[in-house]
Structure 1
């Protein structure tokens, strides 16, 4: 079985590096793989033979090239394997489940209602398993792995810690492994946002990119040549308006924290989009939303000064549902970097916004589904599920 982490690391094994390059190049030869990877010809020959046997790549015999008396050159391409890779993106009220083939194409997808606060751990996981079973019904392919993303943090043992979900050390992977008898990887949704980009990057040419996610939970991650790392804890924040002094960022700039701050001033709304609409005619509401944008910029500026990324990616409802937030954030972050960065080139920093929630959800489900394939492709072997799934060991309980 594949260990829970680390996910979204660059391909390390010869087979993984070869598969990565074959996926990026429609047609590639073994000699070109030798040149691109720096590995020896015998190593590439063994790796490609294993990928051919697994059905992950195939030879294009119709494009065979013959040069002199040497052995003919037969190019390789990605094969349409009969494997299925499942990706599950858990949300506070809904969960996105998608099935992908080994070429990364979406076969089927669905959003299911999973109100975490009202479900027991067992009921929640039953919802997830039922959703996967519905999607796989009638597909003549074999499920070989399951990937899961959640809010909060995932420790090195694959346990989930997410305050907005009420989860403290929850081992969601255990039941899924028993049910489907396949490897299961679990990741925070935040590094998965960057994982979706690193999976299509060239080998050994990954630039530092920072993602800041602000929604029902708040977090950041950094991608480098070594892989994607969630940055925990976030820098502390202080705000006279919100009565915060050197406070933890993760919960104090979440959407719920904003809604609670509005309620103190007798502004009662259920969503951030409603709050932004009210703020059009309410200076108090507008000042609270603006303060959140400023605090998020302060957090990001500290991370930029420390890690020097070339790009900052913004994601989450904080930037999507409040039309003014992204522009305010951009203004504040450059101001803060100029103050704290000791001559940092703020003009070279690029800001990029992921414009929709659905785009984020689909990207992270695909990223976590493909991670085992791209990281350890030869470890995925189809197997039949057990006749009866045993009751898993409970590590922790959900609240609710």
Structure 2
């Protein structure tokens, strides 16, 4: 691993998973959803002036994040030809890590979000000292680089690392996650001493919703959506039109429940009451249920949904994420892509 760069500054954590709003971020978000676009397409879909689009794309091309598409030879036309642009897929790469209680998922992406390499590694986090945890995470990132090197015939240039974890993560990247044995563990700081690229650390639960925000147009998210996660930890978050916010007190409630009901920490009545509380606080019109408590015991999801419909005057629609693997893949890609799609110029500066 490289030494710490003097230019390194982590992204503003308070803005993690904010919907792209600068011209550069909006252009990249649109390119993520389309293979390639003409300049007029950006102007029409983003409602920005042609000069703004031209300046923005020129800067993005200078960063290496965007490139013009080679056009096939054809008949010459009068005037300046319309040349489409696309996100680069070979120059720069992003790492996403989803930390679990006993196993963690590692993946390497190109800027378009395509997977170049992925694997799951056994890391019993709660039983390991902090220094060993950091060594295991760095070893996993290095292994990703080695796997990708065989496909690229060269070591990939990693420009950002994103990590999700259970529990609550502060703006400084400090983690409180009882199921991992972490109480104010300075994960970002420890990794920043070993890596010379920007590092984003966030709770996994809001990343579930952020994955949807990143992969769909803004118009699809005009009403709030909540996610309720129940596994060996609990968590909840809500997405609005522009951002995703964690509901940290849900984790605090789960801790008290563990201490009071050690024999049945995830009983149906408790989960149902929490689901109602989340809906009442967030005003969500859709609730996503995720985690093994819902997927491995399907009747729990059914009873929770039924309880909410009985107790809430205007109950939400429910969706169930069917597998753990689907969750970890979604959150790892979301956190890896966050700074690129939110503040691409800063990402370029830090590299």
TM-score range relative to shorter protein: 0.7 to 0.9
The answer to whether 1:364 aligns with 2:340 is: no
SS at 1:131 equivalent: helix
Match of 1:273 in 2: none
Aligned residue in 1 for 2:226: 210
Structure 1 residues 57-68: aligned runs within 5 Å: 57-62=66-71
Match of 1:232 in 2: 248
From 107, 117, 140, the counterpart of 1:131: 140
Distance 2:144 2:330 in 1: 18
Asked if the contact 1:64–1:72 (Cα under 8 Å) also holds between the matched residues in 2, the reply is no
What is the distance in 2 between the residues matched to 1:377 and 1:63?
Answer: 30
1:194 corresponds to which residue?
Answer: 209
Change (3 A) 1:63 1:294: farther
Say if 1:6 and 1:156, in contact at 8 Å, map to a contact too: no
Shift of residue 198, structure 1, vs aligned partner: 0.6
* Contact 1:65–1:73 (Cα < 8 Å) also in 2: no
Q: 1:43 to 1:328 in 2, by over 3 A?
A: same
Whole-angstrom CA distance in 2 between matches of 1:42 and 1:154:
40
**Aligned counterparts of 2:304 and 2:312: Cα–Cα separation in 1:** 12
How far the C-alpha of 1:309 sits from its partner, in A, is 1.7
1:313 equivalent among 268, 288, 291: 288
- Quick one: which of 294, 299, 320 aligns to 1:324? 299
| Large movers: runs of 4+ above 4 Å | 63-70
1:220 counterpart residue number: 236
Q: Distance in 2 between matches of 1:79 and 1:224?
A: 30
Q: State TM-score, norm by structure 2.
A: 0.87
Whether the 8 Å contact between 1:65 and 1:74 is mirrored in structure 2 is no
In structure 2, C-alpha distance between the alignment counterparts of 1:377 and 1:356, rounded to whole Å: 32
244, 249, 254: which one pairs with 1:250? 254
The alignment partner of 1:20 has SS state of helix
CA distance in 2, matches of 1:66, 1:42: 28
Q: What CA distance in whole angstroms lies between the structure 2 residues aligned with 1:350 and 1:67?
A: 54
Q: 1:6 aligns with which of 11, 15, 24?
A: 15
The whole-number CA distance in structure 1 between the counterparts of 2:49 and 2:193 is 40
SS in 2 for 1:108: strand
Residue 114 (structure 1) aligns with: 123
- Alpha-carbon distance in structure 2 between the residues aligned to 1:99 and 1:48: 25
Tell me the matched-pair count: 335
The equivalent of 1:43 in structure 2 is 52
Which whole-Å CA distance do the structure 1 matches of 2:85 and 2:36 have between them? Answer: 6
Correspondence 1:80 to 2:89: yes
* Residue-by-residue CA offset, 1:202-252 (whole Å, 9 max, x unaligned): 1354232100001111110001112100012139xxxxxxxxxxxx52225
Question: How many angstroms does 1:195 deviate by?
Answer: 1.0
The answer as to 2:162 corresponding to 1:147 is: yes
Query: 3-state SS of the aligned residue for 1:380?
Result: helix
Residues in 1 aligned to 2:253 and 2:115: alpha-carbon distance in whole angstroms: 36
**TM-score scaled to structure 1, two decimals?**
0.77
Q: 2 CA distance for matches of 1:204 and 1:66?
A: 39
1:50 and 1:380 mapped to 2: Cα distance?
13
Distance 1:234 1:327 in 2: 21
Contact 2:172/2:188 (8 A) holds in 1: no
CA-atom RMSD, angstroms? 2.6
Residue 298 in structure 1 maps to residue 298 in structure 2: no
Unaligned residue ranges in structure 1 (runs of 5+): 236-247, 263-287, 339-343, 385-400
Deviation at 1:185, TM superposition (A): 0.5
Secondary structure of the 2:25 match is helix
